[in-house]
């Protein structure tokens, strides 16, 4: 990215009140109790179910 474009993004977009509010809301939505980042759970089934499926598929 050219330096002029980067500076324009910083000056005209990332420092606006609207962007800062969105950024803070997104940060808050990603955080869980005790300040840890939420973990990916592989959709609607558990990680153990994925592991079991993968081990069965690997043997076939």
Asked if residues 42 and 34 have their Cβ atoms less than 8 Å apart, the reply is no
CA-nearest of 16, 39, 38, 14 to 27 is: 38
Instruction: Write down the pLDDT at residue 38.
Output: 57
pLDDT digits (tens, 9 = 90+) for 13-44: 999 999 999 999 888 877 765 655 556 555 67
pLDDT digits (tens, 9 = 90+) for 39-59: 655 567 778 888 888 886 655
The reported pTM is: 0.47
State how far the alpha carbon of 23 is from the alpha carbons of 3, 13, 27, 40, in Å.
23, 12, 6, 20
What residue has token string 């993004």?
9
């Amino acid at each position: 990215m050219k330096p002029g474009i980067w500076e324009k993004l910083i000056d005209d977009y990332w420092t606006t009140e609207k962007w800062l509010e969105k950024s803070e809301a997104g940060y808050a939505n990603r955080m869980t109790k005790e300040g840890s980042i939420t973990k990916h759970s592989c959709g609607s089934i558990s990680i153990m179910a994925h592991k079991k499926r993968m081990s069965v598929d690997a043997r076939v």
